Amino acid sequence: MSIFCFDLDGTIFDSLDGIYESLNHSLVKNSFSKVKKKLLSTLIGPPLESYLEKLLSINLDKEKKLSILNDFRLHHDSLGYKSYKIYPNVKKVLYQIKNCSNNKVFAVTNKPYKISKKALIYFGIYNFFDDIFTADGNTDNCQKWSKNIIRNKSNYLSFLDANYEGIKFYTGDTQSDYIATLENSFKFIYAKYGYGKSFILNKDSVVLESFNEFKKYI
């Protein structure tokens, strides 16, 4: 048995169009000009709140920032996510993983739980995942999580490391995804086709130019 964990945005989903659509809807609603997709594409990856002000080149007061984020989330979670694209061959490869040697598959992501699950269902791949681990702390099947442990990618991978035997892989597209593997036995698979900028990897990591290349690790 092997354990396969995946980031979502930039790894399973190309979510740029959905985020772009919902963000511009929110900006117009809050009396801001629309942003260009090319500029958004250089910043996408981390949560929107972490780069919103940089994207707009202004400092926002707390109330205005919350209004933009709330309107973004309302649109994105009802309509915007439907404009995502699933990377080529994702469904085929996940099917092969799940039907080989009792493998386990988990999503480990910074996306909120509800929209992660909603998007996986919408694109027909939810049933390939044994659980979804998200920064906001909701999962389908995880045992009660200690209040003393922060819910983040690194701690989730360590939790899985301690509870499952076998070879373990985490696939993501950013340096933060890579860092999450450094204190456990997960081997990092770098989704180079995603949103992350190039960075130095250790010799045990591997690089994917496309999701289809993942087949060689099954």
Phi, psi of 76, rounded to the nearest 5 degrees? -60, -45
pLDDT at 161: 92
Q: How many CA atoms lie within 13 A of 127 on its CB side?
A: 5
DSSP state of 14: E
Q: To which H or E segment does residue 10 belong? A: none
Please count the CA atoms within 13 angstroms of the CA of 205 that sit on its side-chain side.
23
Position 23 scores a pLDDT of 97
The tokens of 24 are what? 């511009």
pLDDT digits (tens, 9 = 90+) for 138-153: 665 555 666 677 888 9
Task: Show the tokens assigned to 102.
Answer: 């009792």
Low-confidence ranges of the chain (pLDDT < 70): 138-147
**What is the rounded CA–CA span in Å between residue 117 and residue 126?**
7
State how far the Cα of 27 lies from the Cα of 76, in Å rounded to an integer: 13
pLDDT of residue 198: 80
Query: How many C-beta atoms surround the C-beta of residue 181 within 10 A?
Result: 25
Helix ranges (DSSP H) in 141-184: 153-163, 175-179
Q: What is the pLDDT of residue 193?
A: 92
DSSP state of 217: G
> Encoding tokens for residue 207?
């690089």
Element (H, E) at 119: helix 113-122
